[in-house]
Amino acid sequence: MSDATLSSPTTDLDDGPVVRPAHVNLALLALAVGGFAIGTTEFVTMGLLPEVAAGVGVDIPTAGHVVSAYAAGVVVGAPVLATLGTKIPRKQLLLWLMGAFAVANVLSSFATSYGLLMGARFLSGLPHGAYFGVGSLVAASMVPAHRRTWAVSMMITGLTVANIVGVPVTTRIGQAYGWQWPYAVVGVIALLTVLAVWRWVPFCPADGGVSMRSELSALKRPQVWLALGIGTVGFGGMFSTFSYISPTMTELGGFGSATIPLILALYGVGMTVGALLSGPVSRLGLLRGITILLAAIAVMLFLFGPAVQSAKWSGLTAVFMLGLLPSVLVPMLQTRLMDVAHEGQALAAALNHSTLNIANALGAWLGSIVLSAGLGYEWPSRVGGMLAVAGIGIAVWSALLQRSSQRRA
């Protein structure tokens, strides 16, 4: 009998279909492998920009738009595919999304011109947010209610591990054998994900009470927009720092350029530890935990520049915390969105990943402004700290609105 056989399936009208696979850990592993593939392809281009630029005959700044094309695909694809897939059983939707992701990455590996590569990278980004959104719902449905954030964090762990293993390894492959090969490797990993999801993830029917209209109804809920605002502003602070991590560590910290891959791996370790801590921290209560984490992120970002400047060990500690704290927050924010979206859970969960890519663009842009103004590399993290403080304000607003609604009820 397949590991994906259900045991005592039930349905919760508030949270969607509830399923119980024979082996929860294997099902979560299957979902996490998909996250590993997505995390690898999302970040490997950044490490291979010179090779990509030479390969398609453009300069490095122009090649940087390849990264933006993928992010644009995420922003567009997350809400569109999550909404269009409301009537498709969730397991089947995951298989289609990851199959399309595999094909798009293989197309990227065969691109021979800048235009073709831009198109292939946009297509590669389309399934990203919908996969994490639908996958989060499936992960949460396989465990008791009090373990939902833990299950979501286990799925997202695949993305964080990609920054430790997937990105460095595929970057090295690209440097040694050609920039196309990392995309081909990701395509193979995506096909393995299809097999793993088919084998281990239980059948999870589409929520019969959910339609395209009900999914879109999530956008009418102020709490959904507030949660998305927390993600955009709060994570914008992290990205304003991480986007310039290499020159920050070399200019402020005196690290050699050869140590940057190790520093990025340390960041990935912090991300993985953060994802593992998310479940226990969520027991504080989602909104309370989100607010506390934003405060910790603000403090960390304000201290980031001085920590990097003062000593090597404090700089490395700051990089580790830069990976850890936001990664604790991601699954909690994902769960919060599913809670406040009601019948629009799939759309809201997918929009979380659109939000993160918007935060990426916002943080990088604000960081570039202060650097272009002639300020030092300690300033992007200071801007990030201000954004995190703004995120706290949105979280407090959300809590006050929730309290007011509960009193009226």
Last residue in a domain, options 209, 241, 276: 209
188 and 235 belong to one structural domain:
no
Last residue in a domain, options 209, 233, 262: 209
Nearest to 348 by CA among 181, 173, 41, 140: 140
**Long-range pairs for 247-250 at CB < 8 Å and ≥24 separation?**
247/377, 248/305, 248/308, 248/377, 248/378, 248/380, 248/381, 249/308, 249/315, 249/319
Tokens 């298989």 correspond to: 95
| Mean pLDDT lowest among 161-170, 186-195, 353-362 | 353-362
240 and 380 Cβ atoms separated by less than 8 Å: yes
In this structure, what DSSP letter does residue 130 have?
H
In this structure, what DSSP letter does residue 378 have?
T
Confidence of residue 3 (pLDDT cuts 50, 70, 90): very low
Residue-wise pLDDT tens digits, 48-81: 777 888 899 988 667 777 877 888 898 888 888 8
205 and 215 belong to one structural domain:
no
69 and 114 Cβ atoms separated by less than 8 Å: no
* Mean pLDDT, residues 36-52 taken together: 84
Tokens 């007011």 correspond to: 404
Q: pLDDT value at position 182?
A: 94
353 and 365 belong to one structural domain:
yes
In a domain, 361, yes or no: yes
pTM surpassing 0.85?
no
202 and 351 belong to one structural domain:
no
In a domain, 325, yes or no: yes
Q: At what angle do helices 114-141 and 312-341 cross, to 10 degrees?
A: 70
Name 69's Cβ contacts closer than 8 Å, sequence gap at least 6. 118, 119, 121, 122, 125
Last residue in a domain, options 174, 209, 244: 209
62 and 127 belong to one structural domain:
yes
Residue-wise pLDDT tens digits, 110-140: 999 999 999 999 999 999 988 988 898 888 8
40 and 90 belong to one structural domain:
yes
Confidence of residue 8 (pLDDT cuts 50, 70, 90): very low
Range of the domain at 279: 211-409
Q: pLDDT value at position 96?
A: 96
Supply the CATH number for residue 25's domain.
Answer: 1.20.1250.20
d(CA 306, CA 315): 8
**16-18 and 10-12 beta bridge pairing:** antiparallel
Domain count, the chain: 2
